[in-house]
Structure 1
């Protein structure tokens, strides 16, 4: 396939970089400036998908129980809450953001900003009232990701970053990173990881290969596949279906159709992806054996359109045999 015209299209969007690998080989690289893909940058909520991988690894190693286990085993605050529904929140409901907490991500008194202004982020989230029965509705909630990071650190007996170095970053060859922490020193679960675009490709390739990397099974095939399987429809402005801190969609020749309702559609392509504020993405298209990474400057005045993949890249991947 000739990718030449894609360079011209992406130049107009002023992307930081776009990397595409098909069948394990690089087929396209676009950088606004030379070396952009090798520079460490904030990946924002793509952090959530790295955390998902770490939680799966901890489950595989027996450090965390299975997804049906109760979160109250790690947070006595939930077990003691007067709302008995909180006592039944499971790890899977945390992973699918369906725990039911009252939350508005970007504003209001139960929000990301209020949490990060509080002295104890975990306590802030655990004390939130419920607005839904756990397991019934997905509400995008970076506070839930912080709960997962906290319980992972407790279960592993070390910081989340150290656990990542041993069991994910190290095997993948990820050497350069920065990771923010909360006031208690717990690494941020929903944002705050800084990585190279080249290293984002590695997470995509790991999941394309069902958790296998360089002959080693870093994440069990069972959990690698389960964690990206569509679970609940997003209830807010974000597109697609939600899995275990991954998104999922289906793309067709003329439009994007959601993954759950369009199975069997002609000329379609299922895809799961990580998504971060400001234009950070990892897309994995198993049917085309492809991984796509998009990055942008999160604080630019003109934000990158969110449909770059659908408009400019998915149509090309759909033509691959």
Structure 2
């Protein structure tokens, strides 16, 4: 891949999209950096559900340090009250099933009685999430659910002996040089596992680079390479309109996805696929990691509902340029 030619191509594509920011790093060097204005570069902003991938990293760190048990551990270990739940499947839900959104809870993320907005209006978010009935056999179906992220955040806080933001500062943010952030918390003081973190785009790039480097940062292992790999491996295929697979609070995909849709792609069928994984937040927040190209891309946006951000900027506009350079 020729970084300079990619940079010039992105210079033609990105500014007209009116993104808040777009940063592209190749082999640890920022080769393209675009901000809508000065504030976009210097002011922290909501990363929405990219928070989930940060939480996943913290869970991995806690596992590495022996503060959390293995991923197959049932959640009744942390919430013994679940053993008296009328559904015998619920206490057996595992940490991994929470991380992969396959816990089986009946949940409608953005609406209805069992939703993320309703959870945030209750006095006890974790209890609300745990009380939902199961509509699927745990481990068999991915249902996007910020409630399980809150459960995971509570488990981490319970086992780490400190709140989640303090744990993040000690084991992730400080080593990466991340000083400027804000993190919301629920009525019990549990930091929001599924959203609510504000960061700078350049710090999101560091986070992505850490994963690209298999958990290594400046010669020190912050996350074991085993858990970096495991947490970003496809666990379950997602249902439309989502694409690809889901891992431990990371999305996983491949480009081109559905080659038969394009004659040009079909004609070049001998070219390798471009595998990548990414954090995704509502409204256009993304951190993409493309291991085989040693590339990290951060996209952020802050458009209001009436000014919908462009969808699929990476797979639609950036990935095709990367794929040409394979």
Q: TM-score, normalised by structure 2?
A: 0.93
SS of equivalent residue, structure 2 residue 193 = coil
Q: Are the equivalent residues in 2 in contact too, given 1:42–1:194 (CA < 8 A)? A: yes
- The answer on 1:304 being equivalent to 2:309 is yes
Distance of 1:236 and 1:130 partners within structure 2? 21
Matches within 5 A, 1:104-143: 104-143=108-147
Q: Paired residue for 1:247?
A: 251
Number of matched pairs: 315
Q: Paired residue for 1:27?
A: 31
Q: Which runs of 4+ in 1 moved over 6 A?
A: none
Deviation string 1:96-118 (CA, Å, 9 cap, x unpaired) is 01000000000010101111111
Change (3 A) 1:132 1:63: same
Q: Paired residue for 1:90?
A: 94
Distance of 2:35 and 2:186 partners within structure 1? 33
Select which of 263, 266, 281 maps to 2:271: 266
Unpaired stretches in structure 1, ≥5 consecutive residues:
258-263
Select which of 37, 55, 76 maps to 2:41: 37
Deviation string 1:91-146 (CA, Å, 9 cap, x unpaired) is 00000010000000000101011111111000001110000011011100000000
Report the Cα offset of residue 26 of structure 1: 1.1
Deviation string 1:259-281 (CA, Å, 9 cap, x unpaired) is xxxxx973320000000000000
Distance of 2:87 and 2:240 partners within structure 1? 25
Report the Cα offset of residue 255 of structure 1: 5.1
- The answer on 1:17 being equivalent to 2:21 is yes
SS of equivalent residue, structure 1 residue 50 = helix
Deviation string 1:215-258 (CA, Å, 9 cap, x unpaired) is 0110000000000000011235333210000000000298599x
- The answer on 1:220 being equivalent to 2:232 is no
Distance of 2:67 and 2:208 partners within structure 1? 24
SS of equivalent residue, structure 2 residue 175 = helix
Matches within 5 A, 1:120-199: 120-199=124-203
What do you get for the CA RMSD once the two structures are aligned? 1.8
Q: Paired residue for 1:260?
A: none
Report the Cα offset of residue 302 of structure 1: 1.5
Distance of 1:255 and 1:37 partners within structure 2? 37
Q: Paired residue for 2:265?
A: none
Select which of 200, 207, 216 maps to 1:203: 207
Q: Are the equivalent residues in 2 in contact too, given 1:208–1:284 (CA < 8 A)? A: yes
Q: Paired residue for 2:72?
A: 68
Distance of 1:198 and 1:31 partners within structure 2? 11
Distance of 1:237 and 1:105 partners within structure 2? 14
Select which of 281, 304, 320 maps to 1:315: 320
Change (3 A) 1:63 1:56: same
Please say which of residues 311-320 and 211-220 is displaced more in the overlay: 311-320
Change (3 A) 1:253 1:193: closer
Q: Paired residue for 1:261?
A: none
Unpaired stretches in structure 2, ≥5 consecutive residues:
262-268
SS of equivalent residue, structure 1 residue 270 = strand
Distance of 1:107 and 1:265 partners within structure 2? 44
SS of equivalent residue, structure 1 residue 210 = coil
Q: Paired residue for 1:56?
A: 60
